[in-house]
């Protein structure tokens, strides 16, 4: 299994109570997109996957925050 960051490609069109990014454990990018867009039907992601991309996370890469979860009042 690998870790995937599934992201919306239309974040400029997001509404309240929608997901923008999801961290997923899956064998490949196709499975990661299927989990988010089809199986879990996470709010904001289209079932046809037309507004989502999956980026594989590795230990290599630039130093920095990968995912932050913030809830505003």
Q: Over the stretch 7-16, which tens digit does the pLDDT of each residue have?
A: 999 988 988 8
Q: How far apart are CA 56 and CA 71, in angstroms?
A: 25
Q: Is the pLDDT of residue 4 over 80?
A: yes
Q: Is the pLDDT of residue 73 over 70?
A: no
**Side-chain-side CA neighbours of residue 65 (13 Å):** 3
Q: How far apart are CA 5 and CA 24, in angstroms?
A: 6
6: three-class secondary structure by DSSP: strand
Strands (E), 1-73: 2-8, 21-26, 52-57
Q: Where are the domains of the chain?
A: 2-11+18-57
Confidence of residue 70 (pLDDT cuts 50, 70, 90): confident
Q: What is the mean pLDDT of residues 23-46?
A: 97
Contact assessment for residue 21 and residue 67, using Cβ atoms and an 8 Å cutoff: yes
Q: Over the stretch 37-63, which tens digit does the pLDDT of each residue have?
A: 999 999 999 999 999 999 999 999 889
């Amino acid at each position: 299994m690998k870790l995937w960051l599934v992201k919306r490609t239309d974040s400029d069109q997001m509404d309240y109570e929608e997901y923008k990014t999801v961290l997923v454990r899956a064998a490949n990018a196709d499975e990661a997109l299927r989990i988010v867009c089809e199986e879990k039907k996470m709010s904001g992601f289209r079932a046809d996957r037309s507004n989502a991309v999956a980026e594989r996370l590795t230990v290599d890469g630039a130093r920095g925050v990968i995912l932050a979860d913030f809830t505003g009042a």
